[in-house]
Amino acid sequence: MKGLMLKELYLSRKLRIIGAAVWFIVILLCVLVRLSALYGNIALLGEGSAENVDNVAWRVMVFGGALILYSVQFTNSASSDEKSGFRVFEHTLPVSEEKVVGAVYLTNLCAFVIVTAVNYITALSACLLFDRSFDPMFLVCIPGIGCAAYMFVHFKAAMNYYIRNPKKSQTVFTLFCMGLYFGGFFGFTRWFTSYTERFGVQAGMSEAELDAVLEAQGLTQDRIMINFFKEEIMGAVNWFGHNAWWLVPVIVGGMTALCYFISVKGLKRRGGRC
C-alpha cells in the first residue's frame, strides 16, 4: 500500500509543484494589493475604491487560494496507468484491486487533511493581514471547497477505471461537468430573477426602465447584486452551515464509497491476474 501511495505522489509531483507555485504567487499578489491599499497607489484611488479592491483581495486570499490548492493536490493516475501499460504490470503484483484503488483514495485523503490545515492557516493570516475577524463559517466553507474537488477527482477516477478508455471517460466527465454547469447557471438565474421581482423588476425591461424602478427604491443594478449576494447567497450558506452541515460528510462519504465501488469493479472487469 505504501509503495502504491508513493507511486501516486511521484506521478502527480509536477502538477502539485506547479499548483503550489501558482498558489504562492496568488497569495503574494494579495499581500501586495493589501500593502498598496494601505500605502501605495491603490490608496490614492479613494476610500471606496480602495476598500472594494481590498475586499476582493481578502476573499481571493481566503477562498481563491483554497480552491487552487485543493484543485491540484488530489491525484488521479488512473488514465496515466492505462496509457503507460502499468495496468498490465499491475496484474503481476501481489496486491488486490481494493488496495490499488484504496491507495489513490488514501493518498487524496491525506492530501485533503494537509491542504485543509494549510488553508486554515492562510485564512487566519489573511484575516490578520486585512484586519478582518475570522468567521467561524470558514471552518465549514473552506473544507467544503475541498470536498467538492475531492468528489470531482474521484468521480473522474471512477470513470477512468470503469471505462478504461481515456478519451471516452474524459467525454463522460466533461458531459457531467457541463450538466452541472448549465443546471447551476439556470438555477442561479432563476433564483436571481425571483429576487429582483420583489423590487418590481420585470423581464423585458429596458435599461432606462430598470434604472428608474430601482432608483425609486434607492437601489442601483450594482447594489441589488450586492444585496442578493449578502441576503440570499450568504443567508443560504449560513442556514446550511447551522442546520444542514451534517449533509456534507454524508454526501461526500456516500459519493466516495460509490466511486470506490465503481473503481474496484472496473479494475476487476479484466480479471486474469498472473
Model confidence pLDDT, tens digit, residues 4-20: 788 777 777 888 888 89
The arithmetic mean of pLDDT across residues 132-156, rounded, is: 86
Euclidean distance between CA atoms 97 and 94, whole angstroms: 10
Residue 99 grid coordinates = 488496495
pLDDT, position 274: 32
The three cell numbers of residue 56 are 476582493
How many CB atoms sit inside 10 A of residue 156's CB? Answer: 22
pLDDT at 46: 67
C-alpha grid cell for residue 57?
A: 483581495
Of 136, 98, 45, whose CA–CA distance to 265 is shortest?
Answer: 98
Report whether pLDDT(86) > 80.
no
Say which residue the cell 487524496 belongs to: 108
Checking if the pLDDT of 120 tops 90, the result is yes
State pLDDT tens for residues 34-63. Answer: 888 888 777 677 666 677 788 888 889 988
The predicted pLDDT at position 182 comes to 95
State percent of the chain over pLDDT 90.
18
Question: Range with the lowest mean pLDDT among 1-10, 52-61, 132-141, 219-228?
Answer: 1-10
* The predicted structure's pLDDT at residue 272: 39
Question: What confidence score (pLDDT) does residue 47 get?
Answer: 62
Give me the mean pLDDT over the 80-86 stretch.
60
C-alpha dihedral sign at 233, 237, 238, 243 = positive
- Of 152 and 137, the one with more pLDDT: 152
Is 70 exceeded by the pLDDT of residue 77?
A: no
Please state the domain extents for the chain: 2-164+244-268
Burial of 70 (0-12, 13-18, 19+ CB in 10 A): buried
Name the more confident of 84 and 214.
214
Asked if residue 206 has pLDDT above 80, the reply is yes
